[in-house]
Structure 1
Amino acid sequence: MMQDSPLSRWLSPLMAFCLSLVIIVTLAPSAGIQIDRQLDFWLLWLGSMVVLALPICYLEIALARRSKTTALNALSHLTRDADASARWRLVGWMAVTFIAFLAGGILSHLSLLLPQFTQFNVIPSFILAGLAVLAFALSFVSRQILLLMTGIGVILSLILAQVSGTETTPWHWTSIEFKEWGNATVLALVASGLGMGLYWQTSLQHASQSQHASSTVLPIWFAQLLAVVAFGFMSIQHALPMWTWAVAAIMASALLIQLAKEQLAQRQIALPIQWMILIVAVLIWMIPNLQQQFFVLLMLWGLLLCLIYAIFAGWIMKISHLRKSMNFSNELFYNLWRIAVRIVLPLAIIVAMISVIGQLFG
């Protein structure tokens, strides 16, 4: 676990901004999240950030405050506290595998972009293999350094993309389509890194020491919000400054692999099994002609994780458990959160999954 430092309190918000932007750019082509500047879509996304992303973010931090350990290790304790079936612990395994799978997706997206910016005609699978080796090696670097390098790469990419002066479509209104709800939900939940236990993992120390969960949750949520605003207003998707973005993507992937390794190690999984899980989840992206299907799987998998956590926290855990962990100043806020987690989130995520599947076959 990372030792206390001046950066530790802001590790999760900074990571939320960097990872959210990297994941958004990775998923944008597959999710249909393009820089079209449709006011109706971005307002729909803003609503989903308030109604969906904020309750899930509170959920993660509340579970961190209660368990005082990382997600994979915590679920055995949480299920016992709730007198729940051990099958609920599978979500922890799904999440830690998803983290490595997401790292592979980021590297796969980068491997498809790099040949367009170089004079070398190299097969993307070979590029992905090289990037994976680099990311695994970098995963042994200090978390602060990885986060700092990711932040530098992201910020330089934003600045250079803006300086390039690529023309963007003016803001305009369009009619709302059903598929836009799925895209907005993916943007609010999956692209924000929720459901994986990442903020649960990196906020453990601060969340345990703070009096209220809001002091940990709100900086993370605002950072996620800022990342999407940056994507929406800047032309990063159309004028990607490749080498600075490559630094951001590789460092973010290394950070994800490091976080997954830490969860597996705390669960006391044998080292060969740890590496087998991580390597397979990353290198499966080398299978040719399946990248588009894998990106759809990535979105559906991420939504499913959020759905399972919402059901577990809203319906399986005892009411008193998370009320004390969140320590809201007003009982009304807790009741609103509980309604969102028990009813709004599951229904909204199921509709979003139907939308994503519909786009796949549409």
Structure 2
Amino acid sequence: MQDNAMTRWLSPLMAFCLSFIIIATLAPIVGIQVDRQIDFWLLWLGTMLILALPICYLEIALAKRSKTTALNALSSLTRDADASQQWRIVGWLAVVFIPFLAGGMLSNASQLLGHFAFNGIASNLLFVGLAVAAVLLSFAPRNMILILSVIGVLASLILANVMGTALPAWHVTPVAFSEWGSATVLALVASGLGMGLYWQSSLASVKQQDIATQTVLPIWIAQLFAVIAFAFFAANAQIPSLAFVIAVVSAAALLLQMAREQLLHRQLNIVLQWLIILVAVLVWAIPAISSIFNIVLMLWGLIICLIYAIFVGWIMKISHLRKSMNFSNELFYNVWRIAVRVVLPLSIILAMISIIGQLF
């Protein structure tokens, strides 16, 4: 168990690092890495407020009510709600998605490494090397992994600016429907929401804090800073790219450790634990279908958020999370509930339609 001082900064630091690294991984996929559109960034910041903030409250409220990790908690949460056991599938979708996301991050890092440092080596071989490093690092203490992630992220940001990385000028373009899908992916999936990571890392602090906002706002603000930091970052030089690769390997190790912890709490057989983790990561070593996996990654992450929004907004009893949220005003709780019941599901469905529409 993390001590009291550590739990206060663990989740916000993790939120900043993971959000920044996942954004950098997904941004080229959604097409914003080289195009600094003011209208899109404002849309993105808007989704951080109306989508990411409510689902961050959702995660912490469920953590306060269940007092255990997400996969293990869904058994009691569905029983409390008199809901079908089928809703527990969201926990399994999330815990498998975590190493799958780690694999996607490492795949992106291997391509950077191949481009700037090891041009003669196949990217899938570089990927396997990075995956092995991440798995081994995942056995290190969580503090050490997080510190490495922070150093890697800060180093890549500083070096990218010190070395004079050229970025396109900001400009305004007409807002397109396709941009909604990209903004939603970057606000939800790239922020690590729906996977139960902040739920898991905040367990110690939520047991001591009566008000969910005390835990939620530092996490959300850290995610917001990650968005802003990414606006001034581009991994298009060797040294910043190498620093970023170190950050990615560290963050992937953190994800693998947390996925393993959830499976352990669920008392799953150790062989099955490793089978799930290794298959979800190493499937990215198949170069021919990595582009398909990128689409799967975005849709899968959104589906997890959608199921949680429907379960919490429509299946759980109204009174179950009111005490866990402990808002100072009943109006805030009602606004949050409307966001979870209506705004989040509709927005996520529209985003999924947008992503699928871009394929045709």
**Is TM-score (shorter-chain normalized) higher than 0.5?**
yes
Alignment TM-score, normalising by the size of structure 2: 0.98
Letter in 2 for 1:64: A
1:37 deviates by 2.2
1:35 and 1:237 in contact (8 A); partners too = no
Letter matched to residue 101 of structure 2: L
Map residues 144-293 of structure 1 onto 2, 5 A cutoff: 144-232=143-231, 234-239=232-237, 241-293=240-292
What does 1:34-73 align with in structure 2 at a 5 Å threshold? 34-73=33-72
Give the CA deviation at 1:322.
Answer: 0.6
The question of whether the paired residues in 1 share the 8 Å contact of 2:4 and 2:205 is answered with: no
1:120 CA displacement? 4.8
- In structure 2, what is the equivalent of residue 136 of structure 1? 135
Match of 1:118 in 2: 117
Look up the match of 1:28. 27
CA distance in 2, matches of 1:349, 1:187: 12
List runs of 5+ in structure 2 lacking aligned partners. Answer: none
CA distance in 1, matches of 2:146, 2:219: 15
Moved more, 213-222 or 170-179: 170-179
Deviation at 1:89, TM superposition (A): 0.4
Contact kept in structure 2, 1:115 and 1:124, CA below 8 Å: yes
Contact 2:103 2:282 (8 Å CA) reproduced = yes
Letter in 1 for 2:276: I
State which drifts further: 146-155 or 41-50.
41-50
Quick one: percent identity of the two aligned structures?
A: 65
Q: Note the C-alpha offset of 1:134.
A: 1.1
Distance in 1, matches of 2:116 and 2:236, equals 13
- 2:321 maps to 322
Answer whether contact 2:29 2:294 (CA < 8 A) is retained: yes
Q: Which amino acid aligns with 2:8?
A: R
Aligned-residue CA RMSD in angstroms? Answer: 1.1
Secondary structure of the 1:126 match is helix
1:301-331 CA-partner distances (Å, limit 9, x unpaired): 0001000000000000000001110000000
- Which residue identity is paired with 2:141? S
Kept in 2: contact 1:132–1:283 (CA 8 A)? yes
Q: Does residue 1:93 correspond to 2:88, yes or no?
A: no
Cα offset for 1:341? 0.3
Greater mean alpha carbon deviation, residues 120-129 or residues 194-203: 120-129
Other-structure match for 2:346:
347
Q: Could you give the per-residue CA deviations for residues 260-317 of structure 1, whole angstroms, max 9, x where no partner exists?
A: 0000000000100000000000001111211111011101000010000000000000
Q: Distance in 2 between matches of 1:354 and 1:237?
A: 30
Secondary structure in structure 2 of the residue aligned to 1:41? helix
Q: Which shifted more, 33-42 or 300-309? A: 33-42
Q: Is the 1:35–1:235 Cα contact (8 Å) retained in structure 2? A: no
Measure the CA separation in 2 of the matches of 1:42 and 1:35. Answer: 13
Deviations 1:13-60 (A, max 9, x none): 000000001001111111112242211111111111111000000000
Q: Work out the CA distance in 2 between the residues paired with 1:187 and 1:47.
A: 11
Unaligned stretches of 5+ residues in structure 1: none
Following superposition, the deviation at residue 5 of structure 1 comes to 4.5
User: Contact between 2:30 and 2:182, CA under 8 Å: does it hold in 1?
Assistant: yes
CA distance in 1, matches of 2:179, 2:255: 28
Q: Distance in 2 between matches of 1:265 and 1:351?
A: 36
Do the aligned partners of 1:39 and 1:172 also contact (CA within 8 Å) in 2? yes
Q: What letter matches 2:204 in structure 1? A: Q
Q: Which moved more, 1:338-347 or 1:7-16?
A: 7-16
- Secondary structure at the counterpart of residue 209 of structure 1: coil
